[in-house]
Amino acid sequence: MSTTIWKISRWKEGVFTACDDEVVEELPLTVFANGREIVTLLTLGENLAELAVGFLRSEGFLSAREDILELKEETGAVRLKLKGDIALVESLMERRTLTTGCGKGTTFYHPLDALRVKPLDTGAVFSPEDILARMGEIQTRSEVFQRTGGTHNASLASPEKTILFRADIGRHNAVDMLGGRALLDGLGVESLALFTTGRVSSEILLKTAKMGVAVLVSRSAPTALALRLAEQLGMTVIGYVRGGRFNVYTGSQRVKECNL
- pLDDT tens-place string over residues 142-165: 776 667 666 789 999 999 999 999
* CB under 8 A, 24+ apart: contacts of 146-149: 147/3, 147/22, 148/3, 148/21, 148/22, 148/23, 148/24
pLDDT of residue 92: 62
pLDDT tens-digit map of 200-231: 988 899 999 999 999 999 998 898 988 999 99
Active-site residue, from 102, 163, 187, 248: 102
**Mean confidence (pLDDT) of the chain:** 85
* 114 pLDDT tier (thresholds 50, 70, 90): low
What is the average per-residue pLDDT within 108-114? 52
Whether the per-residue pLDDT at 132 is higher than 50: the answer is yes
CB 60 within 8 A of CB 89: yes
The length of the chain, given as a count of residues: 260
Q: Identify whether 102 is a catalytic site residue.
A: yes
pLDDT of residue 106: 43
